[in-house]
Structure 1
Amino acid sequence: MKTDNTPPRGTRDLLPAAVADRDHVLAAITEVYRHHGYHRIETPALEDIGRLTGGQGGENEKLIYRVLRRGITEPLAEGVGLADLVDLGLRFDLTVPLTRFYGAHHAQLPMPFRSFQFGPVWRAERPQKGRYRQFNQCDIDIIGEESVLAEVELIEATIGALDAVGLTGTTVRISDRRLLAALAEHAGLPAESWDGLFITLDKLDKIGWEGVTKELVESRGLPAESVAVVRTQIERLQAVSIDTLVDTLADALPTMDERALTDLGTTVAALAPLAETAGSSWEFDPTLVRGMGYYTGQVFEIVHPDAGSSLAGGGRYDRLIGRTLGRDVPACGFSIGFERIVDLLGGTRRDQQVAVLHESEVGIDEVLSVARALRAEGRSVAPVRRRGKFGAQLDRLTEWGFTSFVHLSARRDPAAALEERTLG
């Protein structure tokens, strides 16, 4: 019987040329983050299921891949449920594992700690273009900085990383969970309903106000008049100008946390120079929620005119680490949508790779000598035996990611200089 060699649905194999493109993007991002003082760490793919389902992952908690305990015997005893069979799960983001990491190692880390992570995460969602069940995240976080210096530093570093890979002309969208809380309070909604309100509002760009209103009223049971107040206030605040942001928010929402107003004003002022130096702009967007339940303050995203979805997103989560450490620690993070960036760039940027194309009669010693000489120049080099039609093989080399080649044959004068020719 023929074996199906396709990868599981929602996952994919990556050929060498695609991996080379991804390595190029990651190297550029890593260099920017290194210059901004972030330290690379790694955490396991598996986390305790209780931590992953702690109520802070929003809708993503419904998408966790659960892992069965070892040593389960069949048949199962009567009354044994799913919760009894599972003790671990695959991480759905890098933030929840980071909080455990910090709780375990904070005594050995600098303060504040500037973390950089890159690695795969898993979500059991419906696969579609640009969305996979396994994908890579690229996160930076600052733990231990209570001021909005953390927010501004994260945004500036991320804009720099996107610029380094060729994505300029971005827009930073900013809001604040404390603003949303004030909106909910102004509308007369009880505090226990706020998380559900935020989760549904986060779907606004996908289902529109009609869908949001229907879900809030019919599924979550919120009063229609309160939902209408929330909508009216959000639509009114969407038109607010940069210069009047803080005053407008203070007038519209008198109960809004004064610290939140001050923080927004500080962030806006600090980001203003980026419009001149980095070519990025910013805007206040009261519809911005971010789906995770752990955000406590400012939230932000970066969008690009050529992308259908945001390229990066994050925010402040001052109470998440306390679930591990037993005391709250200020924290803020930003995650780049690595897969979206690679897809948007279209694989046009790649390191130079040279093929030493050698005929069968050429001795191994000569092939190795040429390869070593090119590598000594800092080149990426691989020997490849000549096979088949010359033109067809050159086309294959291009598909494989090579950018140039040298041709070794027995007829070549050993004293003559090698001619390197460009591919593609």
Structure 2
Amino acid sequence: MRDFLPADKARRERVLSVIRERYRAHGFDEIETPVVEEYERLHAGIGGDNEKLSFAILRRGLDADAIRAAADDPAALSDLGLRYDLTVPLARFYASNRGQLPGVFRSVQIAPVWRAERPQKGRYRQFVQCDIDIIGDASGRAEAELLVASLDAVDALGLEGATVRINDRRLLDWMLGHLGFTTEERPQVLITIDKLDKIGPEGVAAELRERGVTATAVAAFEEFLRRPQTLEYHPYGERQIRKALPEGVPDELIAHLTGIGEAVAAARPVVAEHVEIPLVFDPFLVRGMGYYTGTIFELAHPSVGYSLGGGGRYDGMIGRFLKQDVPAVGFSLGFERLVDLVSADPDTEAQAIVLVHDADVPVGELVAHKAELVARGARVRLEQRTKNLKALLERAAADGYTHFASVRAGSDELEVKTLG
């Protein structure tokens, strides 16, 4: 968990304001949920490995004997916990407030979450998630809206060139069945396939053999990974998708992914009479969460080798609370990673001015000068002049101030100068 100095906090708020504004422009409405959820809900089997990282809250009123008696049963010790993501709270929120929401609900949730991560670079125990979700729409239109809005937000942050890797859990399941893996084996096979980028085809095949899954299926999968490939480039679409998969793929799954691409392309600008669809079909994209039921995606940018966000369709989750099926799909931007990539240039829409004043300037004059500049739309800080004026101005610049002016007793007009 981290502290943020003023300049860092201001930078984070600038990024958040851009994301909020773009998502609002695309018709998503912001909600807020409590940081605490019931322990049983957080451990209902819908949060994957994140459930193991949740912070539990000790039940109130337990005496020492009660704590000793329940020492081996976390559920008996805790009835609440800090949320580890925003999807579980959203599912509970929708189930609780469905009667007051539109039939198709487009939500934005931007808030901190907590996970008991092992401290290391890039892993935080408290971090911000930026989620958009569409509940109540089972068509590919929902996926297209999420992707268009998220790509728009990333573009607005100055990170042009982002792409989205896309796949479908139903395609993965079909492919594993086609290759000969049994239904019971598929969850552990997916865990191994998810490591393909890290350990390569040989490593995947070796780990599958170690797991003791169907040998003929492993051999078929290995042969598929090593099949001859042409270097011919195909943009996102039916041809690219079919080329990346075994023969016999169900047409309706191909049509679903192709339709999403066509919808995203319709929203992208035309450059030199050509629209580059920022989607890449990846037949081995898995996404670790077990609740995904259909389309899955991850956001990539050429400047980094890791994902900047992702999501997918989770049609089965909300039904656990409502006892009826409700289609849902979501996308989460990796805010902490995005902040590190976005330019640190201060907001240029308004001046940020430091008024450096002598010690004998009357307070009334100081606040009058400050109020006049604030009324013009400037951001203003008062600083008493020190012997080391250079250090004072350098600190102000580090805090995001762009201009300064000297104030002496009786000054009528201020000369505002640029810092640096």
Cα distance between partner residues in 1 of 2:228 and 2:356: 64
CA drift of 1:250 comes to 10
Bigger CA drift: 239-248 or 221-230?
Answer: 239-248
Q: Where does residue 265 of structure 2 map in the other structure?
A: 272
Q: Where does residue 261 of structure 1 map in the other structure?
A: 254
Bigger CA drift: 324-333 or 383-392?
Answer: 383-392
Select the residue among 394, 415, 418 that pairs with 1:419: 415
Q: TM-score, normalised by structure 2?
A: 0.90
Cα distance between partner residues in 2 of 1:286 and 1:55: 26
Cα distance between partner residues in 1 of 2:228 and 2:331: 25
Matched residue of 1:114: which SS? strand
Select the residue among 84, 92, 111 that pairs with 2:84: 92
Cα distance between partner residues in 2 of 1:183 and 1:297: 14
Cα distance change of structure 1 residues 391 and 199 upon mapping to structure 2, 3 Å threshold = same
Q: Where does residue 218 of structure 2 map in the other structure?
A: 227
Bigger CA drift: 82-91 or 301-310?
Answer: 82-91
Bigger CA drift: 265-274 or 11-20?
Answer: 265-274
CA drift of 1:80 comes to 4.3
Cα distance change of structure 1 residues 322 and 35 upon mapping to structure 2, 3 Å threshold = same
Structure 1 residue 378 corresponds to structure 2 residue 371 = no
Trace 1:21-60 onto structure 2 (pairs within 5 A): 21-60=11-50
CA drift of 1:343 comes to 0.6
Asked whether the equivalents of residues 404 and 423 of structure 1 are also in contact (C-alpha less than 8 Å), the reply is: yes
CA drift of 1:342 comes to 0.5
Cα distance between partner residues in 2 of 1:213 and 1:87: 43
Structure 1 residue 309 corresponds to structure 2 residue 277 = no
Q: Where does residue 404 of structure 2 map in the other structure?
A: 405
Cα distance change of structure 1 residues 224 and 48 upon mapping to structure 2, 3 Å threshold = farther
Asked whether the equivalents of residues 174 and 298 of structure 1 are also in contact (C-alpha less than 8 Å), the reply is: yes
CA RMSD of aligned residues (A): 2.5
Structure 1 residue 252 corresponds to structure 2 residue 246 = yes
Query: Alignment length, in residue pairs?
Result: 409
Cα distance between partner residues in 2 of 1:136 and 1:231: 39
Matched residue of 2:185: which SS? helix
Q: Which runs of 5+ in 2 are unaligned?
A: none
Cα distance change of structure 1 residues 280 and 397 upon mapping to structure 2, 3 Å threshold = farther
Structure 1 residue 17 corresponds to structure 2 residue 10 = no
Q: Where does residue 320 of structure 1 map in the other structure?
A: 317
Cα distance change of structure 1 residues 163 and 380 upon mapping to structure 2, 3 Å threshold = same
CA drift of 1:155 comes to 0.4
CA drift of 1:115 comes to 0.2
Cα distance between partner residues in 2 of 1:279 and 1:373: 49
Structure 1 residue 81 corresponds to structure 2 residue 80 = no
Q: TM-score, normalised by structure 1?
A: 0.89
Cα distance change of structure 1 residues 233 and 69 upon mapping to structure 2, 3 Å threshold = farther
Amino acid at match of 2:414: L
Q: Which runs of 5+ in 1 are unaligned?
A: 1-10
CA drift of 1:280 comes to 6.0
Asked whether the equivalents of residues 120 and 135 of structure 1 are also in contact (C-alpha less than 8 Å), the reply is: yes
Structure 1 residue 292 corresponds to structure 2 residue 282 = no
Cα distance between partner residues in 1 of 2:5 and 2:24: 28
Cα distance between partner residues in 1 of 2:195 and 2:52: 16
Listed one character per residue, the Cα deviations across residues 367-409 of structure 1 (whole Å, up to 9, x for unaligned) are 1111111111122222222233111111111122222122211
Asked whether the equivalents of residues 182 and 253 of structure 1 are also in contact (C-alpha less than 8 Å), the reply is: no
Amino acid at match of 2:239: L
Cα distance between partner residues in 1 of 2:321 and 2:228: 37
Asked whether the equivalents of residues 123 and 134 of structure 1 are also in contact (C-alpha less than 8 Å), the reply is: yes
Cα distance between partner residues in 2 of 1:29 and 1:204: 32
Q: Where does residue 340 of structure 2 map in the other structure?
A: 343
Cα distance between partner residues in 1 of 2:300 and 2:177: 30
Cα distance between partner residues in 1 of 2:33 and 2:222: 40
